[in-house]
Amino acid sequence: MTRYTQLLLSGFLLLFLLAGVSLTMGAESLPIKTVLQTLMHGGDQDFIVNYYRLPRILISILVGMGLAISGVLTQGIIRNPLASPDLMGISGGAGLAACTVLLIWPNIGNVWLPPIALLGGFSAALVIWLLNRWHDPSPARLALVGIAISAFLSSCINFLLILHPVEINSAMIWLTGSLWGRNWDYVWPMLPWLTVLVPFSFYLAWSLDLFALGEDTADALGVNTKGLQIAALLSAVALASVSVAVCGTIGFVGLLAPHLARLLVGSRHKLVLPVAALVGALLVLSADTLARNLAPPLELPAGVLTAIIGAPYFLFLLHRYKGY
């Protein structure tokens, strides 16, 4: 058993344990025995365990994976340690689109949110893609472009909220990222996207390793660089937008997970991708578990907790990072 397999296995074990803890804890604390019984046979706590905590845990894991993989792909393709769906305004675009629709038609069904968020995410990605094509900015400048676009998008959102003061809370929760009230109805629309996109990303990871050697080398090794770039970017945007559509713009996961994974297993995408996905899932799951348990029965938005967990750690990474 290599060190890598050990790492993956312990990651899985940790995720499993955390899911177990998350099932037992909340506004209503349940003993493990009751949880197991309810999982098997239903019963009194059927709603809390099977309809409330279980789907939330699943969504946390899926969203965390989606955001982390999206981060690995964007960083790989733009070859920029700062690229991540939330920094480049992709999450912001998806958030703005969904937020606009929610404010104008507050009663729109959940089914419509993923395609709308997808549209917003793709438009933001299109802007980034065009910038990259025309100008090929340096990492720092691309990040600045992202900040400027995000600043603009958040001004737009503020303006919308001032026009519709009654709906501020719902929109704010959406923008911060929260798993409140997310049930099985949100799991099913996500699954087909992820079952296609995740294996596809693993396939792309192999090609990305060649791409990381430089575009010319990749060309020489027979990788279709342009096709690869487009495919990776598209799946990154799709993964991020689907995640945003389900639980809003949860920050820092897409930026942090790839960095942490690289710190653990080096820079080969084939190895980084699974670890990053695990880290992302762990991050979102622990954020949501904390969100439910810090001051029950009050719930906090999970996005605030990913930021509180993520930002200091990111600054710590920054402190150690020497490769400028």
Partner 1 sequence: MNILSSARQSKTLTPALLLSTLILGFIISLYGQSEFSLQANDLWQIMIAPDSQDIKQQVILSLRLPRSLVACLIGFNLGVAGLLMQGLTRNPLASPTLFAINSGAACLMALNSIGFAFFSALPSELATFSGALLGGLLVFSLGGGLRSDSNALRLILAGIAVNGLLSSLTRAALIIADDTAYSILHWLSGSFSEIDWHSWSQLWPLSLVALLLAFSTSRGLNLNALGEQTANSLGINITWLRVRVCLAVLLLTSISVTLAGPIVFVGLIAPHLARALFNNNHLVLLPASGLLGAALVCWADLLSRSIIPPAETPVGIITALIGTPFFIFLVLKGKL
Partner 2 sequence: MRQNDEITKISDDSLDDNVYHYHLIYLVLLMSLLSPLLFAALLLLPLSFISQQSHAVTIEHDAGTLTLDKTPTRIVTLAFSFVDALAVTGVSPVGIADDGDKNRIIKSVRDLIGDWQSVGSRYQPSLEAIAALKPDLIIADSGRHHSIYKDLSLIAPTLMLQSRGITYRENLAVMQKISRAVDKSAQFKKRLKKHQKLMLDLKNQLHNNDTYQFAIVTDKGMWLHSPSSYAGSVIKELGLNSPMTNNINEPYLQSSFEQLLKTNPDWLLVGQYTEHTVLDKWQKSPLWKMLSVAKSKQLIHVSASVWSLTSGMLAAEQIAQELASHLKQ
Q: Binder to partner 1 among 20, 115, 139, 189 (CB under 8 A)?
A: 139
The CA-atom distances, in angstroms, between 82 and each of 86, 92, 111, 248 are: 10, 16, 32, 21
Minimum distance from residue 144 beta carbon to partner 1 (Å)? 4
In angstroms, the CA 92 to CA 68 distance is 16
Q: Is 320 in the site for partner 1 (CB under 8 A)?
A: no
The two structure tokens encoding residue 233? 């970017």
50 binds, among partner 1, partner 2, none (CB under 5 to 8 A by kind): none
Q: Binder to partner 1 among 6, 158, 183, 195 (CB under 8 A)?
A: 158
The answer to whether the CB of 255 falls within 8 A of the CB of 240 is: no
Give the burial string for 113-148 (b: 16+ CB within 10 Å, else e).
Answer: bbebbbbbbbbbbeebbebbeeeebeeeebbebbee
The two structure tokens encoding residue 40? 């098997």
Subset of residues 104 to 133 that bind partner 1, contact rule: CB under 8 A: 131
Binding mask 274-313 for partner 1 (x = CB under 8 A): --------------------------xx-xx--xx-xxx-
Q: Is 134 in the site for partner 1 (CB under 8 A)?
A: yes
In angstroms, the CA 310 to CA 283 distance is 9
Q: Is 318 in the site for partner 2 (CB under 8 A)?
A: no
What does residue 295 show for φ and ψ, rounded to 5 degrees? -145, 60
**Region near partner 2 per CB under 8 A, out of 48-56, 116-124, 127-135, 268-276:** 48-56
Residues that bind partner 2 (CB under 8 A): 26-28, 47-48, 51-53, 106-107, 110, 165-167, 169-170, 173, 178, 180-181, 183, 185, 292, 295-299, 301
